A and B are shown apart, each in its own frame.
Chain A
Amino acid sequence: MSYEINIGILALQGDIEENIVATRDAMSSLSLNAYTSPVRYQKELESVDGLIIPGGESTVIGNLLTLKSGIRTTLQKRLIQGMPAMGTCAGMIVMAKKAYDSVVGKMNQPLLGVLDIVVERNSFGRQNESFEANLPIDGFEGEDFRGVFIRAPSATKVGTNVKILGRFAEKVVAVQQGNIIGTSFHPELSGDLRFHKLLVALIMRSRKE
């Protein structure tokens, strides 16, 4: 069987399976024949057309990226070359230029530094403050998007080449820079596939170019 595209889910830690299911659902609703698989090795990273960095703990995912040699540099290189990617929550933090914690402050955690934003971790508070809410997303037609915010971060500084896709409570919670999408919330948990479809659209477009 041959596939039209190959989408990887970075499978070091976090809600990997949930992103695989959401991506598969998005593909089948678009009638696309795609291969979706967990990615943990440099070789696998080299062959994907697009990547999702899932939710989880950004410190853990960042640490594991540096533990096994090759993954981090390959990932950085491919993202700089324009590989489409989406980071949800921890995934957005891992791709950011800079991150600090709302309580602890300065963090000394490994980041990929490819997304030109400064992230405040736990920006809405701890788990008891985690919430669901609807919010409008720039470019999405129809209903508001159901945001599931779990110890969610926000972007406190946004580079000039970064488009703000969504805000909540005056905080920036969804961004796009070229082929990279970052969200503070978890589109893989809400049952709304529009972000996963947006990533697929970016992959299809970048393959035509």
Chain B
Amino acid sequence: MTISLIPSADSFRGIKKSIIGKKEVVRGTSLVKRGFAHMQKHGVIMDVTNVEQAHIAEEAGAVAVMVLDKLPFDVRKAGGVARTASVKVIEQVLDSISIPIMAKCRIGHASEALILQEVGVDMIDESEVLTPADEERHIWKWDYTTPFVNGAKNLGEALRRIEEGAAMIRTKGEPGTGNVAEAVTHIQSVNGDIRKIRSVYEDEDLQELIRVGREFRTSFELVKETGRLGRLPVVNFAAGGVSTPADAALLMNLGCDGIFVGSGVFIAEDPLERAKAIVLATTYFDDPKIVMEAQKMVDERKSMLGLDTKNLDLKMQERGPSV
């Protein structure tokens, strides 16, 4: 197997079996859900709020779009409760573009997630950008046929979300700020802890591996698999504050599998060119010459101004259940 399937579920409600032409067909398996995330790798997933933006994203080379009611920057401005996007808008986007379409639901809001699954989105983001609906627990994602992506600011969070059935992880970062500092902190924290687990695994120190599992409040099985792989068992993207091609290259160089861009593209004054440039810099992240060419495609005077992450009224990364 080229992709990890630990932990895996065979008996949960998300798995659907049927017969086509005397052959058994299985949907919603870990392989099919995580496999979808693997197809997004090295790509850029862009936040959009309407069909026009979805078209621009597709044209620019987005690997998928994330439909939401307001961009994270506007969520901050508006205040109030941020909920899942209008079903009608999601349907319009589904009918308009050929690339995968994701949408966000509130943390713990199983009913919004079921609605998104019925609408037929390709992936659900249980997201701290929206106002959490449950402060105690996240959605039990094994019960869905649609794959989920979850945010994480450290390895423990990432592994706990995988344990609940997430098929993909992204850093939380600090969405809507235009500032990558928090995303950088989160990926470095994850990387540092993976290095620790890897060395414990290589030492075959079972006792320490069990202790680490308890420290991260996750299963021994999952910690062991992380040690064996030397990386997260699922695809891991960067998210939160990406605004420029250089930002994307920075995060790819830190070992992210791909990039989410939220407000960075459509709050800026040059969305199409900027989106294209971020795609180019994500593919050639380790080639300074091409990253420079990509950076040249954008005008810093057109970047979103951004916010200082130290003095925010709302820290999205800190919302939701702590376990």
Is A158 an interface residue, CB under 8 A from the partner?
Answer: no
Q: Which stretch, B61-69, B175-183, B306-314, touches the partner chain A? A: B61-69
Is A32 an interface residue, CB under 8 A from the partner?
Answer: no
Q: Are A64 and B41 in contact, CB atoms less than 8 angstroms apart?
A: no
Give residues of chain A (149-170) contacting chain B, Cβ–Cβ below 8 Å. 150-151, 168-170
* A contact residues around B62 at 8 Å (CB): 60
Q: Are B280 and A128 in contact, CB atoms less than 8 angstroms apart?
A: no
Give residues of chain B (73-100) contacting chain A, Cβ–Cβ below 8 Å. 94-100
Docked CA distance A17–B63 (Å): 17
Q: Are B120 and A16 in contact, CB atoms less than 8 angstroms apart?
A: no
Smallest Cβ distance from A75 to chain B, in angstroms?
A: 15
Given contacts A14-B42, A57-B43, A127-B146, contact A133 B36 (CB under 8 A): no
Is A138 an interface residue, CB under 8 A from the partner?
Answer: no
Given contacts A64-B280, A148-B31, contact A56 B42 (CB under 8 A): yes
> Could you count the A-B residue pairs with CB atoms below 8 Å apart for me: how many are there?
144
Count residues of A near B (Cβ-Cβ below 8 Å). 49
Q: Which stretch, A172-180, A185-193, A197-205, touches the partner chain B? A: A185-193
Q: Are B63 and A60 in contact, CB atoms less than 8 angstroms apart?
A: yes
Closest to A15 in B: B38
* B contact residues around A188 at 8 Å (CB): 2
**B88-124 interface mask toward A, CB cutoff 8 Å, 1 = contact, 0 = none?**
0000001111111000000000000000010011110
Given contacts A11-B42, A135-B23, A168-B23, contact A40 B283 (CB under 8 A): yes
Q: Are A56 and B122 in contact, CB atoms less than 8 angstroms apart?
A: no
* B contact residues around A19 at 8 Å (CB): 2
8 Å CB contact of A191 from B1, B24, B97: B1
Is A104 an interface residue, CB under 8 A from the partner?
Answer: yes
Given contacts A16-B41, A22-B2, A63-B61, contact A186 B21 (CB under 8 A): no
Chain A residues near B (Cβ < 8 Å): 11-19, 21-22, 40, 55-57, 59-60, 63-64, 67-68, 89-90, 101, 103-104, 107, 121-122, 126-135, 148, 150-151, 168-170, 186, 188-189, 191
Q: Which 5 A-B pairs have the closest CB atoms?
A: A127-B122, A18-B2, A101-B98, A63-B61, A21-B2
10 contacts between A and B (CB under 8 A): A15-B35, A18-B2, A57-B99, A60-B43, A68-B290, A126-B121, A132-B25, A132-B26, A151-B36, A169-B20
